[in-house]
Amino acid sequence: METGEVFYRELQTVNDELPLNCLACGVCCHSQLETFVRVSGDDWERFGDEAERVAHFVGHRAYLKMQNGHCAALELQKDDEGRCGYFCTIYDRRPQICRDLDRGSPECEGERALKGGRVVPSE
């Protein structure tokens, strides 16, 4: 998969079918919890200059920043037809926990079951 690849979706709810590509889903990138995704020292280094934009410390531990219910590394973009989708701005440098989450794994299915009715924003 190419770095910077963007997948768009029209306003819809996530359905029960497993997406063909993780980036076409993004359910695991959404949470209201401030401490949703733990960031290791290796992850922080991999972020480089983007570290303080996408991660923060809560106590003595680092986590991805969550903004408006999703990871701060996600940017909402529109294609030429006005369809919206999220783009991960750190996909090639994402945390190890994001790399380790396999599409269709029990963890993935748990996220989808918990958040399956999430609506993809149109703006």
**CA–CA dist 113, 75 (Å, integer):** 24
**Which range (35-44, 58-67, 77-86, 107-116) has the least confidence?**
77-86
Geometric angle at alpha carbon 96, from 119 and 111, rounded to 5°: 30
Give the percent of the chain with pLDDT over 90.
41
Q: What does pTM read for this prediction?
A: 0.72
If 0-12 CB within 10 Å is exposed, 13-18 middle and 19+ buried, where does residue 84 land?
middle
pLDDT in tens, 24-44: 677 888 899 999 999 999 999
Q: Which residue has the higher pLDDT, 12 or 107?
A: 107
**What pLDDT score does 118 carry?**
54
